[in-house]
Amino acid sequence: MYLDNRTRTSELSCTLDMLRAITTTRVPDELFSTLVRAVIESSGACRACLLLVEDGALRIVAQGKTEDQRVDVRTNLQGPSCSGLPESIVTAVQLGHVQVVLADAAEAGSFSNDPYLRKQGVRSVACLPMIGQGDLLGLVYLEHDLQAGVFTEERVMLLNALVAQAAISLENVRYCEHLAKENDRLNAVQSELVFQRNLLRTLAETFPHRIYAKDTQTRFIFGNMAVAQGMGVASPDELLGKTDFGFYPAACATRYYREEQAIMQSGQPLMHHEEEVNYLLTNDVAWMLTTKVPLRDDEGKVIGIVGVNYNITERKRTEMELVSRNAELLELNARLSQAQAQLVQSEKLASIGQLAAGVAHEINNPIGFIFSNFTALDGYVEKLLAMLAAYKEAEHFIDSKATTDKLKVLSERVDLPFLKDDIPVLMAETKDGITRVRKIVQALTDFSRIGGKLEWQFADLHQGIDATLNIISSEIKYKADVIREYGQIPEVECLPSEINQVIMNLLVNAAHALGEERGRITIRTRAEHETVSIEISDTGCGIEKENLSRIFDPFYTTKPVGKGTGLGLSLSYGIVQKHDGTLEVESKVGKGTTFRLALPIKRRRLQLE
């Protein structure tokens, strides 16, 4: 009896030492190792495992075995699963938060069919839940594979005490770890705040921009040296607690106050606002690019504004210089475009003139002697036909019947009556063809005025229109019927080739406006006071109203890409202005377009002379 009490006292002392060790341990792996060693030594188990809940699943964090009366414990296990344990027992404890104690696992029972128990031949089993504040933290599994009834009621009570203390210690360890991490985080945040504060102070003081902050009453709560200098004070401290009314005129301060109140009430920033301001210390005028944004607390409530003023005086000066130079470049570009257009026109007129000169030179002479020879031939044919008629009348005076029969056969063979009727027709048609060729050559000559220099002269506009129509006949005849409504007009002093160029451009544009369907082009002329007007109307698609003001601009065209250069109307407008005339346009979409050209009968420059 005395030995039993001494044994109990010794076991109690060992148990207290184990509880004290578990209670004082603050390192997780040491706690796991101490707990596993304690439950093995206090229960007589051959093997013990500590499982903890991590991310909703159980994981073995420590396990121990008894070998040669020595307990060997291992922690820091690399991903061990629960496959080496009786799954049915572990699941029952995990779900029910109840302990499972088997005196003899070999006997029939709820867990006797567990594959692990049957395979390993385990006899005694104990599995205890580790509960902390109502939640399952993990569980402790113990087994003895040789002896039944190892885990007595007394030992189970002791194990529960060890596990409960281990749960408290585990929560304390985790709480301490959390506190340590939080402390590290707070230290890092504090260091970051100190760094940011120093960085902001350095930036605010070294940047040449005005940087400031105001409260909800628009009182300064911060300002850098640039703000102080701009507002005429020696130090930013002299700004604190004051408003713009203490520095600026009332009208200016009122504008700033209303502007900043609107920003704070709406929560919408003022971004990149350009304004002209005065430096109060030097009274210099400067341009500022101002940005003001709401200042908010941690809860997002607006507690003021933050403003930045960036001096853009040099940029504005550069911009104004660029605007001025750009205007000069635009004017120069317009002059170059005009010069280029005139050059294109001159080259086109020169090409047409050269072509017409070549055609006239090559064709006029042959046509001349052909026409002359043909006139003579026409006379010869008439004489021959007269002679044949005389022979015909003399046939009955021939006495020889053989000769008469021979002439009759020959007459029938050559079909003399047909020849007598057809030869005059052929001669007339050929003469008409030669006349038309001469007219075409004359039209080319009239269009380009190859016979003289490019100089002002009085010209018949009707002749120029007809010559132009002959030149572009192939462009128009398949698309439109041309109606000439000519009035009585005098000759006009002009550069005929250039006026012909204008008429050609207007006629070609009219033909193009007709599209695929055949239409009508009407040309009207009339004299009005000291001017002569030419109207060219078409029944084409018309021009959109928004495009009418641009059709005379260089390089502007409504034709598809590759179908027009946009120079025709621009060149025409320039030529008309050169002649002190006007060129106007009226158009209705789907109805057609009318261009109205008005030219003075005499040059106004000469009238002034």
pLDDT digit string, tens, across residues 304-347: 999 988 888 888 888 888 888 888 888 888 777 766 766 665 56
Strand partners, 273: 290
DSSP H helical ranges for 395-448: 401-414, 416-448
Q: Given phi > 0 = left and psi -120 to 50 = alpha, else beta, which region is 149?
A: left
CB 388 within 8 A of CB 417: no
DSSP H helical ranges for 207-269: 225-230, 250-266
Q: How far apart are CA 136 and CA 133, in angstroms?
A: 8
Residue 158's CB: how many other CB atoms inside 10 A?
A: 21
Residue type, 313: T
Average pLDDT over residues 114-143: 90
pLDDT at residue 563, rounded to an integer: 47
DSSP H helical ranges for 44-106: 87-96
CB 444 within 8 A of CB 360: yes
Tokens encoding 519? 């239409």
How does strand 480-485 pair with strand 519-528?
parallel
pLDDT at residue 293, rounded to an integer: 93
In CATH terms, is domain 2-178 a member of 3.30.450.40? yes
Residue 430's CB: how many other CB atoms inside 10 A?
A: 14
DSSP H helical ranges for 147-249: 153-206, 225-230
Q: Is the pLDDT of residue 561 over 60?
A: no
For 161, phi then psi, to 5°, come to: -65, -45
User: Rg of the chain's alpha carbons, rounded to an integer?
Assistant: 58
Q: How far apart are CA 188 and CA 194, in angstroms?
A: 10
Which of 59, 118, 111 has its CA nearest to residue 83?
59
Residue type, 375: T
Superfamily in which the 457-608 domain is placed by CATH: Histidine kinase-like ATPase, C-terminal domain (3.30.565.10)
Which of 600, 347, 569, 568 has its CA nearest to residue 494?
600
Model confidence over 353-392: pLDDT tens digits?
556 656 666 676 677 667 777 777 777 777 777 777 777 7
pLDDT at residue 606, rounded to an integer: 46
pLDDT at residue 557, rounded to an integer: 59
What are the C-alpha distances in Å from 308 to residues 288, 304, 318, 348?
A: 9, 14, 22, 62
Model-wide pTM > 0.85: no
For 292, phi then psi, to 5°, come to: -130, 130
For 64, phi then psi, to 5°, come to: -140, 155
Tokens encoding 226? 């640039």
Average pLDDT over residues 166-180: 86
pLDDT greater at residue 470 or residue 131 = 131
pLDDT band at 173 (very low <50, low <70, confident <90, very high): confident
What are the C-alpha distances in Å from 43 to residues 23, 35, 40, 55?
A: 19, 12, 5, 30
CB 48 within 8 A of CB 40: yes
- Evaluate whether 2-178 and 205-311 have a shared fold: yes
Which of 568, 467, 550 has its CA nearest to residue 510?
568
Model confidence over 255-314: pLDDT tens digits?
999 999 999 999 999 988 888 876 655 567 778 889 999 999 988 999 999 998 888 888
DSSP H helical ranges for 267-307: none
Any idea which residue has 């038309």 for tokens?
Answer: 436
pLDDT at residue 93, rounded to an integer: 92
pLDDT band at 598 (very low <50, low <70, confident <90, very high): very high
pLDDT band at 127 (very low <50, low <70, confident <90, very high): very high
Any idea which residue has 């005076």 for tokens?
Answer: 397
pLDDT at residue 4, rounded to an integer: 56
pLDDT band at 5 (very low <50, low <70, confident <90, very high): low
Tokens encoding 163? 């596990």
Residue 603 per-residue DSSP state: -
Query: What are the residues whose beta carbons fall under 8 Å from the beta carbon of 242, sequence distance 6 or more?
Result: 219, 220
Query: What are the residues whose beta carbons fall under 8 Å from the beta carbon of 378, sequence distance 6 or more?
Result: 427, 431
| Residues 570-604 as b or e (16 or more Cβ within 10 Å = b) | bbbbbbbeebebebeeebeeeebbbbbbbbbbbbe
Domain boundaries, given as residue ranges, for the chain:
2-178, 205-311, 342-430, 457-608
Helices 313-393/496-513 angle, 10° precision: 90
pLDDT at residue 454, rounded to an integer: 62
Q: How far apart are CA 547 and CA 554, in angstroms?
A: 13
Average pLDDT over residues 110-116: 88
pLDDT at residue 573, rounded to an integer: 85
Residues, the chain: 609
* H or E element that contains 294: strand 285-296
Q: Is the pLDDT of residue 210 over 60?
A: yes
Average pLDDT over residues 89-116: 89
What are the C-alpha distances in Å from 391 to residues 187, 395, 398, 412?
A: 141, 6, 10, 15
Model confidence over 446-466: pLDDT tens digits?
555 544 456 788 989 998 888
Q: Is the pLDDT of residue 469 over 90?
A: no
Q: Is the pLDDT of residue 107 over 90?
A: no
Which of 238, 219, 218, 241 has its CA nearest to residue 228?
238
Average pLDDT over residues 110-118: 88
What are the C-alpha distances in Å from 140 to residues 162, 212, 385?
A: 10, 63, 144
**Of 8-22, 158-172, 383-397, 524-538, which gets the smallest average pLDDT?**
8-22
pLDDT at residue 484, rounded to an integer: 93
Q: Is the pLDDT of residue 152 over 70?
A: yes
Class of domain 205-311: alpha beta
Q: Is the pLDDT of residue 414 over 90?
A: no
Tokens encoding 356? 């017409």
